[in-house]
Chain A
Amino acid sequence: MSESGSDGGKWLDAHYDPVAGLYTFSSCVDLADLSGDGESRLVVGDLGCGSYSMKLKVYRGTVLMSESTLLDLPAGLVAFFMDLHEPRIPAVAVASGPCIYVYKNLRPYFKFTLPGLEVNTLEQDVWQQVKEGQIDPLTLKEMLEGIRKKANIPLSVRSTRFLSLETSDMDAFVQLHNQQPIRRQTVITCIGTLKKSTADEDGVSCLVIGTESCDVYVLDPEAFIILSKMLLPAAPITMDVTGQFDVEFRITVACRNGNIYVLRRESDKPKYCIELSSHPVGLVRVGKNVVVGCTDESLQGFTQKGKKLWRIILPAPVITMAAMDLPTRGFQGVLVGLANCEVQLYRDKNLLSTFKTPNVVTSICFGRYGREDGTLIMTTKGGGLMMKILKRTAVFDDRDSAPGPPLAQSVRLNVPKKTKLYVDQTLRERENGLTMHRAFQMDLSRLRLATAKAYVKALESSLTPMSSSLSEPIKMNAVVQGLGPSFKLTLNIQNTAACRPIMNLAISFLYDESLYRMRNPYMRIPLLVPGLIYPVETFVECTSDKGISDIIKVFILHEGQSSPLLTAHINMPVSEGLMLS
């Protein structure tokens, strides 16, 4: 039960029944106050397991209140107000196959069947002949196969079923069915509701249905006649409806060809089209934007005119999606159920909260349940039912909990106002830009020249601690140790040549003799093997007690040559102790 995890304890685990036996999808779950007592019930179209035990189940609190058998697999379920009678109790519409079953007070009330589609006349003729006994089933099969290949109107379900039969079963099938006329039916793929004339919470709503034959119908809730019919380029899979039928409405439909179409009033063709890079799984409207979960593990945001706003990558494939709308707190978000047993909450592209579930969630529904406004109801792949309640104190901060740029980056700096001086400077810079640039370039060139001159001078007089001579590449660094008056001077000399040793070198020091006294101001250096560091040590004594220091110059010389190979200046520290003479 305690699966709060990383969501920071925003949800209370109200109920979890892992063996509730509810197998359903988000499109077949709705919350509605079915008894008019102010307590919302959970209405579920249960797909059962297999081709039987489809049920319409109603939950109150944690218990199953009622269940009634459905005739066919439910494709969608909505609760809607179909009339203005008091008390205001919504009806439940269950779409299955080509029919919509309307339940009032949980009793079957009305059945609406979609109009049949156009039937192939050739097919009709053939069946007519069969009925009159003019042709036998084998000829029928041949003729139907011929029709199937040529005709642009597809065969009816009966003919395709007949073609799939074994020869032995054909007679019985023909005997059973040849009396009824041929019909071609489509099936409902998705269902939604559209307020008729008012935007009130309990206003009368029309049903909007999408069919396999790429049509979208708007049905009148009282007479169940088709108010409007619109045609899509592909079969719809899920839709979102907003607005009012009599005023202005917008039907956003995700289709099987990977596109999203937006239908408007006064147009039977899509007004806008969003072409997705992969197939849509779920579609949720948040405010004026549409959020789509795709099969390429992405979540994408679009404006209602189809402009792409953002796209984020999800950690796992999307299984289901639902809107999380909390008007009392002004919160709108999208709940996404993922294949890795996680449910994530997004506001725009920001991940606000994640929680783990014991099983993959197949349906999500958020809304008022019982007397609690923020209830999250989920069913799992294994048929479990899970209910969570949003804590009263839960706060979703806008910060993105996914890794990204830190918050400080978006904090605006407190930039002071532009002063008069600043404005004057800016003006001056704008007017004299060219001159200023030239002056700067001139100074830069001069600086470069001065640098180059100093460098050449240093090279010429071998003032650097690196030897520039190619035949005797030597590196030296000096360390002074001690507090004074006696210092230890260590010179680390290294031959940086690849393999040639260097011989016949000497070190000489130049210093102010009134300040320093050196034990041996001239030393010979042994043969320098390449790579090794040779420490050469000597002692310096400061003879002054006035607390002043000076530079000692070190020269490395080649025997027999007067110009040094390299030179180093050592800044001696101030002697801190008095010389003991």
Chain B
Amino acid sequence: MGLFDKLAGWLGLKKEVNVLCLGLDNSGKTTIINHLKPSNAQMQDIVPTIGFSIEKFKTSSLSFTVFDMSGQGRYRNLWEHYYKEGQAIIFVIDSADKLRMVVAKEELDTLLNHPDIKHRRIPILFFANKMDVRDALSSVKVSQLLCLDNIKDKPWHICATNALKGEGLPEGVDWLQDQIKTMRT
């Protein structure tokens, strides 16, 4: 970390990072982002996102700007227009929706093969969400179904989460923060 960054850290100015939050509809993207926001800014009711929404939250050393994209089929073609700006990606998966795991895999493959993403070494954080649901798949099984082992040129990490209670979220965000720091230095 450079001298200026340290200085900025002492002064309380934090580095801004743009993060894209992607995933199928009803996977829990907005709920996860909502949980990461400071408690006084959290919403009570989560409704399906239309288009996208921009949310901000801070961690110990970074200030995140999250593009919370809508996961509905008709809005998914909007994702690629934000790939350039994103410095990290959060990909949320509904672990209880076995049927649509192929759809999630298809969207992930499209994402990874996009020219704006393909040759950049940006960190991808996977949230295997809805772990509280009875028939949910484990994070290992999810990573198998999505063939995450095939991602060789980007750092990635998968955590099992329950966004309703916030379980597993801090672990993922810590990993993302470390990755972004190592990327910058």
A and B are interacting partners: yes
Which residue of the partner chain, among B73, B99, B106, B110, contacts A15 with CB atoms under 8 Å? Answer: B99
Q: Does B102 contact A (CB under 8 A)?
A: yes
CB distance from B103 to the nearest CB of A (A): 6
On whether the beta carbons of A61 and B99 are closer than 8 Å, the reply is: yes
Q: How large is the interface on B (under 10, 10 to 19, 20 to 34, 35 or more residues)?
A: 10 to 19
Q: A372-B103, A373-B73 known; A15 and B25 CB under 8 Å?
A: no
Which residue of the partner chain, among B25, B73, B103, B135, contacts A63 with CB atoms under 8 Å? Answer: B135
CA distance A371 to B73 in the complex (A): 10
Q: Could you say which residues of chain A place their CB within 8 Å of the CB of B73?
A: 328, 372-373, 392
Residue-wise interface mask of B (135-151) relative to A, using a CB-CB cutoff of 8 A (1 in contact, 0 not): 10000000000000000
CA distance A13 to B103 in the complex (A): 9
Identify which of residues 56-82 in chain B touch chain A, using a CB-to-CB cut-off of 8 Å: 73-74, 76-77
The residue on A at minimum CB distance from B106 is A12
Total count of chain A residues near the partner, CB < 8 A: 18
On whether the beta carbons of A370 and B102 are closer than 8 Å, the reply is: no
Q: Does B98 contact A (CB under 8 A)?
A: yes
CA distance A328 to B76 in the complex (A): 14
Residue-wise interface mask of B (40-59) relative to A, using a CB-CB cutoff of 8 A (1 in contact, 0 not): 00000000000000000000
CA distance A145 to B49 in the complex (A): 73
On whether the beta carbons of A389 and B103 are closer than 8 Å, the reply is: yes
Q: Does A163 contact B (CB under 8 A)?
A: no
CA distance A63 to B37 in the complex (A): 36
Q: Does B179 contact A (CB under 8 A)?
A: no
Q: Does A393 contact B (CB under 8 A)?
A: yes
Q: Does A391 contact B (CB under 8 A)?
A: yes
On whether the beta carbons of A15 and B103 are closer than 8 Å, the reply is: no
Q: Does A62 contact B (CB under 8 A)?
A: yes
Q: Does A387 contact B (CB under 8 A)?
A: yes
The residue on B at minimum CB distance from A11 is B102
The residue on B at minimum CB distance from A375 is B99
On whether the beta carbons of A328 and B74 are closer than 8 Å, the reply is: yes
On whether the beta carbons of A393 and B110 are closer than 8 Å, the reply is: yes
Q: Could you say which residues of chain B place their CB within 8 Å of the CB of A61?
A: 96-99
Q: A328-B74, A371-B25 known; A391 and B106 CB under 8 Å?
A: yes
The residue on A at minimum CB distance from B77 is A392
Q: Could you say which residues of chain B place their CB within 8 Å of the CB of A391?
A: 106
Q: Does A552 contact B (CB under 8 A)?
A: no
Identify which of residues 103-139 in chain B touch chain A, using a CB-to-CB cut-off of 8 Å: 103, 106-107, 110, 135
Residue-wise interface mask of A (366-409) relative to B, using a CB-CB cutoff of 8 A (1 in contact, 0 not): 00011111000000000000010101110000000000000000
On whether the beta carbons of A13 and B102 are closer than 8 Å, the reply is: yes
On whether the beta carbons of A12 and B99 are closer than 8 Å, the reply is: no
Q: Does A518 contact B (CB under 8 A)?
A: no
CA distance A389 to B96 in the complex (A): 17
Q: Could you say which residues of chain A place their CB within 8 Å of the CB of B26?
A: 371
Chain A residues engaging chain B, CB cutoff 8 angstroms: 12-15, 61-63, 328, 369-373, 387, 389, 391-393
Between A and B, 10 residue pairs with Cβ closer than 8 Å are A14-B100, A14-B102, A61-B96, A61-B98, A63-B135, A370-B97, A371-B97, A372-B99, A387-B99, A392-B107
Besides A12-B102, A14-B99, A373-B73, 20 other A-B contacts (C-beta < 8 A): A12-B103, A13-B102, A15-B98, A15-B99, A61-B96, A61-B98, A62-B98, A62-B99, A63-B135, A370-B100, A371-B24, A371-B26, A371-B100, A372-B73, A387-B99, A389-B100, A389-B102, A392-B73, A392-B77, A392-B103
